[in-house]
């Protein structure tokens, strides 16, 4: 998997209320959620994010609630992937389960700046900062998570492995 896009940079501990405020959780429609993606962190984000753009952040991205609406909103806004130093546990799980690519890299999280263009080679685990002409290593994705991604998310994985009534 290769991804390339322009970066929108956020800070540490970006919580799920910043990603998708609870006032919009009276719907689960991805298009509707996308309109409010990152709204309480950057009011203008949904209007300016382009298809394929990338979010980078510091530590503990997606902390707080279990709302799957958070990765759903990001994905539906057209964001191709999120790069952070690390992710909160439920957000990490949810992203793999719904097929939003996420990458952990402390170096990338520190060095990539707002507006940089970066390219990710997921198979090799390398992020290339096209603007700065630098490369960063990605923390390897555990084999089970790779299986989930290959199956097309948790539900498809489950349909292959278990009996569904």
Residue 60 touches another protein, criterion: CB under 8 A: yes
Scanning 2-10, 74-82, 117-125, 147-155 for contacts with another protein by CB under 8 A, the matching segment is 147-155
CB neighbours of 143 closer than 8 A, spacing ≥ 6?
none
Burial class (CB in 10 A: 0-12, 13-18, 19+), 160: exposed
First to last CA, the chain: 33
Query: How far is residue 121's CA from residue 145's CA, in Å, rounded to a whole number?
Result: 17
Pick out residues in 35-54 that bind another protein (CB under 8 A): 40-41
Contact call for residue 17 and another protein (CB under 8 A):
yes
Give the interface segment with another protein, choosing from 112-120, 122-130, 131-139, 152-160 (CB under 8 A). Answer: 152-160
129: left (phi over 0), alpha (psi -120 to 50) or beta: beta
Contact residues for another protein (CB under 8 A)? 13, 15, 17-18, 21-23, 25-28, 40-41, 59-60, 63-69, 71-72, 86, 88-90, 93-94, 97-98, 142, 144, 153-155, 158-159, 162-165
């Amino acid at each position: 998997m290769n991804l390339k896009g322009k970066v929108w940079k956020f800070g540490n501990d970006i919580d799920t209320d910043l990603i998708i405020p609870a006032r919009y959780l009276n719907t689960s429609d991805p298009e509707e959620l996308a309109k409010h993606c990152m709204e309480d962190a950057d009011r203008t984000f949904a209007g300016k994010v382009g298809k394929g753009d990338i979010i980078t952040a510091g530590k503990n991205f997606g902390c707080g609630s279990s709302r799957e609406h958070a990765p759903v909103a990001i994905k539906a806004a057209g964001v191709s992937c999120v790069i952070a130093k690390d992710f909160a546990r439920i957000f990490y799980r949810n992203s793999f389960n719904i097929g939003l690519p996420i990458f952990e890299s402390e170096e990338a999280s520190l060095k990539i700046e707002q507006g940089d263009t970066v390219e990710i080679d997921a198979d090799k685990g390398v992020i290339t900062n096209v603007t700065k002409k630098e490369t960063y290593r990605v923390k390897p994705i555990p084999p089970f998570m790779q299986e989930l991604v290959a199956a097309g998310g948790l539900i498809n994985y489950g349909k292959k492995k278990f009996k569904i009534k």
